[in-house]
Amino acid sequence: MRSAFITGLAGATLLDAERSFLGSTRPAGIILFARNCVSHDQIRRLVSDSLDAIGSADTLVLIDQEGGRVQRLRPPLGRALPAAAAFGTLYARDPSEAGRLAFLVSRQNAEDLRALGINTNCAPVLDVPVPGAHDVIGNRAYGATPAQVAALGAEVAAGLMAGGVLPVMKHIPGHGRAGADSHHDLPVVDTPRATLETTDFAPFRELAHLPAAMTAHVLFTDIDRDYPASTSPIVTHDIIRGTIGFDGLLMSDDVSMRALGGPLGERARAVLAAGSDVVLHCNGDMAEMEAVAAECPAISGCCEKRLDAALAVLQQHEPFEPQLAEAALSRALSVTA
The set of catalytic residues is 183, 253
Enumerate residues 6+ apart whose C-beta is below 8 A from 290.
Answer: 21
Cα–Cα dist 157/162, whole Å: 9
23 close to 129: Cβ distance less than 8 angstroms: no
244 close to 208: Cβ distance less than 8 angstroms: yes
218 close to 244: Cβ distance less than 8 angstroms: no
**Strands 65-67 vs 70-71: parallel, antiparallel or unpaired:** antiparallel
Phi/psi at 213 (5° precision): -150, 155
180 close to 186: Cβ distance less than 8 angstroms: yes
3-state DSSP of 139-191: HHCCCCCHHHHHHHHHHHHHHHHHCCCEECEEEECCCCCCCCCCCCCCCEECC
Positions of E strands within the chain: 3-8, 27-32, 60-63, 65-67, 70-71, 120-121, 166-167, 169-172, 188-189, 212-215, 219-220, 249-254, 278-281
3-state DSSP of 300-329: CHHHHHHHHHHHHHHHCCCCCCHHHHHHHH
3-state helix, strand, coil split of the chain in percent (to 5) is: 45, 15, 40
Q: What angle do CA 144, 161, 136 make, to 5 degrees?
A: 35
DSSP state of 236: I
